[in-house]
Amino acid sequence: MASPADLASVIRRRLTREDYEIIDLVLVSDDSGHYQGVVELRHILRAHDDQPISALMRADWPTVLPDTDQEHAVEAANKFGVAALPVISRDGKLLRVLSPRILLDVLAREHREDIHRIVGILRERSGAEHALEDSPLRRAAQRLPWLLVGLIMSVIAVWVMARFERTLAANVTIAFFIPALVYLADAVGTQTEAIAVRGLSLRKLSRSVEF
């Protein structure tokens, strides 16, 4: 944190005296805590000792509100090509900073959530992480209900085909198309999933982000 009147030499001395987890931006605010802008660390390191922070400050740096969706915040950082985003209250006071580590974590979680939603997983559960490490009996118990559902659907499909037994017996050539129909049904589902996942990864939200 710095005030507009602070000199670059003063900020550099403060940076060497204190231990910071991440240093990306120097946030500039007035005496009442209202946000003024930011200064990138690279500008401070090469600035003259007597140069005030106000001369290095960028007032147009993108910011987000506390209630901005975290996914929108990541998209805003990507849109403006910045690695950190200040969080500003509606009355203009500086609250915190979304650091690169936070933005990357949000990006990874949102990407995983979107991919799970595409394949029908609506909620993440801790047990899903151990699905490949569970015992064979436990894995069989978790998958058996879905295998039974598939078996029941297969029985229904066979029953439907049995209703047309006479037609198939009279025209054996029709049976040759059954494998093709099965392939097409599977191909349509697989291609639809691939197109949806690709579209999800490249999509741009139409909803506006407030800065």
Give the mean pLDDT of the chain: 81
On the question of pLDDT at 119 being above 50, the answer is yes
Give the pLDDT confidence score for residue 1 in this predicted structure.
84
CATH superfamily assigned to domain 8-99: CBS-domain (3.10.580.10)
On the question of pLDDT at 123 being above 80, the answer is no
Over residues 103-109, the mean pLDDT reads 88
Of residues 43 and 125, more confidence is placed in 43
94 and 29 in contact (C-beta within 8 Å)?
yes
Model's pTM, two decimal places?
Answer: 0.54
Where does CATH 3.10.580.10 sit in the chain?
8-99
Give the pLDDT confidence score for residue 7 in this predicted structure.
92
Letter string b/e over residues 130-150, b meaning 16 or more CB atoms within 10 A of that residue's CB: eeeeeeeeeeeeeeeeeeeee
Give the pLDDT confidence score for residue 211 in this predicted structure.
40
